[in-house]
Amino acid sequence: GQQVMQIPQYQHVQEGEDFTTYCNSSTTLSNIQWYKQRPGGHPVFLIQLVKSGEVKKQKRLTFQFGEAKKNSSLHITATQTTDVGTYFCAPDRGSTLGRLYFGRGTQLTVWP
Amino acid sequence: KAGVTQTPRYLIKTRGQQVTLSCSPISGHRSVSWYQQTPGQGLQFLFEYFSETQRNKGNFPGRFSGRQFSNSRSEMNVSTLELGDSALYLCASSLTGGNNEQFFGPGTRLTVL
């Protein structure tokens, strides 16, 4: 099955510090999606990366897809308390009946 | 446009019982996926339905089953409940599944006593 490792599992930062979570696959991916789940909430789609080496930005969030399309990262600059939550990557291998496999997520805590 | 709805939101059952959870996808979405979420385990894929057919299945025992109706609404059933089945069950809808963006419902919190 899909081998996806997301690290770190937990990250505690002080407000204003940067944060990065990584998603690593053992196989080449067709694309990868990122989701955020706030405490007590449900996952919400953030972005999809498709191209090798792709970089996308959403305000303070920067998403990257590796050149080999086997890994991806989400970087948050100057974290805020509103960034608290669990960030999941969801890689897709692009098979005919492709489906998403979610990583275990990185739980981010931000201290004010 | 209305989001994904799930009913009930909370459920308490005892071991050995069975339970049925319901999910209404966003209008026009034909794919519905179900996930089990427990602390520290992330989102574990249960199955995906598309046009009333199960298209993908995760590694869960046969006690977990589902179906999809012609209006794309979906139900999942868990028979002979075990304590370990206590979890948040999330359904997600998308236009056609696969690598389409998934829209999650609020989930059903199942507690098995």
CB A75 within 8 A of CB A20: yes
- The confidence score (pLDDT) of residue A30 equals 87
Chain B residues with CB-CB distance to A99 below 8 A = 33, 45, 48, 55-56, 97-98
Give pLDDT tens digits for A49-95. Answer: 999 999 999 999 999 999 999 999 999 999 999 999 999 999 886 65
Chain B residues in contact with A1 by the CB 8 A cut-off are 59
Q: Testing the interface with A: which of B35, B57, B101 to mutate, by most A Cβ within 10 A?
A: B101
User: What is the chain A residue with the closest CA to B41?
Assistant: A104
CB < 8 Å to B30, chain A: none
User: What is the tens place of the pLDDT at every residue in B28-83?
Assistant: 999 999 999 998 677 898 999 999 999 888 889 999 999 999 999 999 999 999 99
Taking alpha carbons only, the member of B47, B50, B67 closest to residue B59 is B47
What letter would DSSP give residue A9? S
pLDDT of A7-43, one tens digit each? 999 999 999 999 999 999 988 888 999 999 999 999 9
Please provide the average confidence, as pLDDT, over all residues in chain A.
91
* Model confidence at A101: pLDDT above 90: no
For the residues B15-33, what does the mean pLDDT come to? 96
pLDDT of A98 reads 54
What mean pLDDT value characterizes chain B? Answer: 93
For an interface test with B, the pick among A65, A99, A104 (most B C-beta atoms closer than 10 Å) comes out as A99
Mean pLDDT of B83-96: 94
Q: Can you give the pLDDT at residue A10?
A: 95
pLDDT > 70 fraction of chain A, expressed in percent and rounded: 90
% of chain A residues with pLDDT over 90 = 75
Chain B residues inside the 8 Å CB shell of A88: 42-43
- With a CB cutoff of 8 Å and minimum separation 6, the contacts of B27 are B1, B2
What is the mean pLDDT of the segment spanning B5-32?
Answer: 97
* 3-state DSSP assignment of residue A83: helix
pLDDT tier for residue A97 given thresholds of 50, 70 and 90: very low
Residue B92 vs residues A14, A100, B4, B28: alpha-carbon distances, Å: 33, 11, 7, 13
Residues of B with CB under 8 A from a CB of A: 33, 35, 40-43, 45, 48, 55-56, 59, 90, 92, 97-99, 101-107
Q: Is the pLDDT of residue A99 over 90?
A: no
Looking at the DSSP bridge assignments, the partners of residue B110 are B11, B87
